[in-house]
Every structure is written in structure tokens, then in C-alpha cells.
Amino acid sequence: MSVLLSVRDLKQHFKMGGGFLRKHYTVYAVDGISFDLKQGETLGLVGESGCGKSTLGRSLLKLFEPTAGQISFEGRDITQLSPKEMRSLRQEMQIVFQDPAESLNSRHTVGQILEEPFIIHGKGTAAQRREWVSELLDKVGLPRSAADRYPHEFSGGQRQRIGIARAIALKPKLLVCDEAVSALDVSVQSQIVNLLLTLQQEMNLAIIFIAHDLSVVKHISDRIAVMYLGRIVELADAQQLYLSPRHPYTQALISAIPVPDPRRRNQRILLTGDVPSPISPPSGCHFHQRCPYATELCHSTSPELRVCDGLAHQVACHFPLSPVEAVPLGKAV
């Protein structure tokens, strides 16, 4: 599998303020992120709300102009592309949002919504487009008759299928799913995750799957990146991350998932406090105020994301936790 997307030291800082008080401040939403994504691979992106994962997802598609850093898509640095060059590349990279009710135009029929990407990119005759819309509905498991109905006539899960159909219309290579299943019931969540997995196999789609819930991410991801306050703190193969988390924050997130394994229960770290504000992130390691292992070094010096046991596992911590003896998740001992 070759690398599809390569991100290097990406920063997305928003200058805010002005107005009556003339107060200016900077939100460090994404603060130096690097990773690679291979063709057909799924990277889960998790972290508490406000950690910058949605901003990162949008920055990758250049829905925001990045403050600094590189985003290479198939070897081309897209941060350098003009809006016109970017428009044609948009076919290759698409996004599915959390709330399909907001992202689907309620005055248009499903048929019109799904036809739109073809019209924008000047593809096909009216008859061909109608056929393509029918094929898209087949693909996402909706009846062809759905084309003549309106989004509000469908359930939340069905609307998300429509959102996915629209996103895959132009056969993209990259799909960013931003909390795409978070608003759905658990049973519907797994149906949508299964649909994404099927589409991924059929289309060799690379997926960035953003969620705040680790248990959802686990089933779809090949690798998982854990974010904290604008940075990736740990990046590993999905199984490896669950079995042997090395960053105290990751371990705290994982220990919050109930498992019937007493050995894992003993390793529980209870987090206190909330994620600090991205307006004035703490010095050194951003996690030091909540970390039970923090030392002076953690207060003063920011840890780099470094490789630890095995090339695929990276962690940003001065004192990574010892690897845990591997016990398959969910297996009582």
C-alpha cells in the first residue's frame, strides 16, 4: 500500500477577537501534527471534545487555509494549490459530517442532492446522472425510490447513508468521517460502520474516522491516533493501542471502557479536570496538569512524538508507561 496522505507539522491557529474590547487572542486548535495515511487504510482519530480533531479533519481537506505545515496528497503539497486546482482535487477527498440533517439541503429531493456533485464537476448527461444516483442508492442500501423523497422523510441512520452516498459519488480516495456515527443509536452506528467498511473494500477508500468514543473507533480503524489539545500524543496499530497503551492519557481513556479483565482494572487512571483551553495551552507537555506522573521536566519541556517498541507505535511522553502484558480485550482471566 502506498502513502496517500502525508502530513507534516501541520498547524491551524485561529486569530480571534477585536470588537468592542479590542482584545485579540489565538486559538491553537491544531499545533504541530504529523502522520501518514496509506491508500485504503483507516486511521481513527480520538480525543475529548475541543482537542482539535474536527479542525484537523477540515484542515486536511483545506476547508481552512492551514497556518503552517505541509499536506501532501499523492505526493503533491496541497497547501500550495490555488483554489481552482483545489476544486478539481476535491473529487478525491470528501467529508461526511456528524449531523446529516444540517448538511443535506432540506428543500432538495435526495435525487437532486446526489446529482449535484456530478453537475458541479460537469459529469454525464441527465439520463446518465439519474442512473448513477440509482446506483449510489443501491450502494448505500437505500431503495431507488428514495430519490424522489426529501431528507426529512428518513431516519437519522438513513440520512447518514444519504450523506455517505453524496460523499462517495465522485469516487474519492479519501473520506473524512467527522463524528459520522456519534449522533446515532448504537445498533444503527454499527450498521453505518459496516457500510463504511464494505465501501472501503470495494473502492479502496482511505478513511479518517473521527470520534470521541474509543470503542467505536476500534472496530473500524487499522491504526489510531489519540489527540490532546491540538497534538497527537500516541499513534499505534489499533490492537496494539488497546492492548498496550504507552501514554498516560491513552491509558486513562482506555481504562474508562468497561472490560471484564481484573488486570486491566488495576491500571485504571482517573482523570481529573477538563481539557485546558486551546487559547493558552499549558507549557511543556500539554497534559501535565492532569497527569499523575508529571515531573519538572514535563512542566518545562514538550515531549516529541517518538517511536517506542516497534516502528508502528509512537508516543509523545517523557516517561512512557511500560508495555502491558498482552491480554486479548474482553477475555476474562
**Nearest distance in Å: CB 314, ligand SF4:** 13
- d(C-alpha 224, C-alpha 130), whole Å: 38
CA 279 to chain centre: 22
64 makes contact, choosing from ligand SF4, Mg ion, none, with CB < 5 to 8 Å by partner type, with none
319 makes contact, choosing from ligand SF4, Mg ion, none, with CB < 5 to 8 Å by partner type, with ligand SF4
317 makes contact, choosing from Mg ion, ligand SF4, none, with CB < 5 to 8 Å by partner type, with ligand SF4
Nearer to ligand SF4 among residue 93 and residue 254 (C-beta) = 254
- d(C-alpha 127, C-alpha 132), whole Å: 9
Which residue among 291, 305, 313, 314 contacts ligand SF4 (CB under 6 A)? 291
CB–CB of 324/244 below 8 Å?
yes
Kindly state the number of chain residues that form the binding site for ligand SF4, as judged by CB under 6 A.
13
Nearer to Mg ion among residue 54 and residue 158 (C-beta) = 54
Nearer to ligand SF4 among residue 89 and residue 294 (C-beta) = 294
Q: Residue 154 is which amino acid?
A: F
Nearer to ligand SF4 among residue 97 and residue 249 (C-beta) = 249
Which ranges of the chain does DSSP label H, i.e. alpha helix?
A: 53-60, 83-89, 100-103, 110-120, 126-139, 156-168, 186-203, 214-220, 238-243, 248-255, 262-265, 296-300
Kindly indicate which of the ranges 68-76, 124-132, 268-276, 287-295 contains the residues binding ligand SF4, using the contact rule CB under 6 A. 287-295
54 makes contact, choosing from Mg ion, ligand SF4, none, with CB < 5 to 8 Å by partner type, with Mg ion
CB–CB of 329/259 below 8 Å?
yes
181 is a site residue for ligand SF4 (CB under 6 A):
no
Which chain residues interact with Mg ion by CB under 5 A? 54
H or E segment and range at residue 213: none
Q: Cβ-count burial of 151 within 10 angstroms (0-12 exposed, 13-18 middle, 19+ buried)?
A: buried
- d(C-alpha 125, C-alpha 130), whole Å: 9
132 is a site residue for ligand SF4 (CB under 6 A):
no
Footprint of ligand SF4 (CB under 6 A)? 247-248, 285, 287-288, 291, 293-294, 298, 303, 317-319
